[in-house]
Chain A
């Protein structure tokens, strides 16, 4: 595309909207505030990070999207800062960004512990659900009579959001960790299972025939032909599995739990400490983004056809 690599006029390397907003934001952070403001270091660090992203992405790599994204982020912070500094909004709900990012420096230990416990649950929930769905799906999809009986039933179960049975699972399971894994498991298992069964059931007959004339036995057929055939479907499905896992996780943590990303948010909501709540939400966003990158990396590495 033309737009991707156009030359930037020398004047605009310094005089451009993101740079101007960046300077404005630095200036605004020195304004006296109506509400009590915490030390701004973390906040400034975030602004500098965005500025670096802009300089590297737009001025060095010439990606227009980087320019636009930093514009939007800086504009958001500018509006937010203006509202908080002038006291135009309820200070309990719209607090200075300085305070929000300051939470990261004071509560990082608690956040990190929450992160670890959440990742642990997400990992085991996703892995167990995906592995089981693939193994059972391949076996059941392969046997026509089984898949014709089971697929319609699975199609009824799989659209039920697993949050619907959260309270039931929590009551039925011995402790909260197990019930959270079970909820994540159920949220991912049914849709994946259903997708694997239908992919196997509609597998290209030519592929099966070419394997059959090579004298392939049933086990090899399932392991070396059917499984590689469904693998890309399963890997593509990981993207939605990940978001389902987080949905289930936060849903469950909002009800019970004693640690985790969702728990952090719920705990401070109960104290009406919305500064921490907002920090928790931002943190969760960052975590989900990093994990999505990881999933996409896995997909690019393993989807070969």
Chain B
């Protein structure tokens, strides 16, 4: 069960002049894969922190399966934008720690095996005993993904999880996320600023302008999708063009040129 609803959700940082999120309304059905797309600073991470239960909305509400939510819960697995492993635990200990919080019944050996299987899923089967500081940024992020998946939550909240991963590994991980979604029918909320990634993964794309949901776009390309196969697909190409145009239009005064001018 993993239906997610936002009702008139508004959020303002305590000392800020204006709200970062204003009157958001969104329903994500159980088992759906939704990508949140928007430029840097438009409030994607802030929105996710509310869904993670780390921040409370200033007004409006956030419901899971019709129930208002306060704080984090075992039905939600999280991968942060920043690296978030515990630096004093090995990669595997990090995953085990995550599992232990939701599965109190498992013995040490079962925990080990489960953690190992998730590390293998993200391609780090051989790196279980490495400390996070000895892993590259992308590898750390993959361990964080393994940790979130291992919790076996109904809803997965991922904030630009592949931002620091190179193209080849990114494709592998995108495929992994696709497969997991196909097999396990979990609800995915996936933040990205990569238009192609959004089209590849999502059932629906939520396009954000600063503080607002501007438009929700359905992706009518049958799943499973393979990047090499669909990238010349007509629907892919036109959707891609549409979203990129939207970026240019909505963030017209937000280009790198204007940023440089400010500096």
Chain A residues in the interface with B (C-beta under 8 A): 206-207, 209-216, 220, 224-225, 228-229, 231, 304-305
B86 in contact with A207 (CB, 8 Å): yes
Count of CB-CB pairs between chains A and B under 8 Å: 55
B76 at the A interface (CB under 8 A): yes
Number of B interface residues at 8 Å Cβ cutoff, please give it. Answer: 28
Interface SS of chain A: helix, strand, loop or mixed? helix
Assembly CA distance A214 to B148 (angstroms): 8
Chain B residues in the interface with A (C-beta under 8 A): 52-54, 71-74, 76-78, 80, 82, 84-89, 97-98, 101-102, 131-133, 144, 147, 151
A206-B82, A210-B84 as given contacts; A224 in contact with B97, CB under 8 Å: yes
Assembly CA distance A57 to B45 (angstroms): 58
A229 in contact with B101 (CB, 8 Å): no
Tell me the minimal C-beta distance from A230 to chain B in angstroms. 11
A214 in contact with B98 (CB, 8 Å): yes
Q: Which of B54, B88, B131 contacts A213 (CB 8 A)?
A: B54
Assembly CA distance A124 to B85 (angstroms): 36
- Residues of chain B with a CB closer than 8 A to A225's CB: 86
B82 in contact with A213 (CB, 8 Å): no
A231 in contact with B151 (CB, 8 Å): no
A213 in contact with B86 (CB, 8 Å): no
- Residues of chain B with a CB closer than 8 A to A212's CB: 53-54, 71-72
- Residues of chain A with a CB closer than 8 A to B78's CB: 210, 213
Q: List 27 A-B contacts (CB under 8 A).
A: A206-B82, A207-B84, A209-B52, A209-B54, A209-B80, A210-B78, A210-B80, A211-B86, A212-B53, A212-B54, A212-B72, A213-B52, A213-B53, A213-B72, A213-B76, A213-B77, A213-B78, A214-B98, A214-B147, A215-B73, A215-B102, A216-B101, A220-B101, A225-B86, A229-B88, A304-B88, A305-B132
A305 in contact with B88 (CB, 8 Å): yes
Most buried by A among B73, B80, B101, B147: B101
Assembly CA distance A228 to B86 (angstroms): 9
Tell me the minimal C-beta distance from B52 to chain A in angstroms. 5
Shortest 9 CB-CB contacts between residues of A and residues of B: A210-B84, A213-B78, A305-B87, A228-B88, A214-B101, A213-B72, A215-B101, A305-B88, A215-B74
- Residues of chain B with a CB closer than 8 A to A229's CB: 88
A206 in contact with B80 (CB, 8 Å): yes
Assembly CA distance A215 to B89 (angstroms): 18
Assembly CA distance A276 to B76 (angstroms): 71
- Residues of chain B with a CB closer than 8 A to A228's CB: 86, 88-89
- Residues of chain B with a CB closer than 8 A to A215's CB: 72-74, 101-102
Assembly CA distance A24 to B99 (angstroms): 70
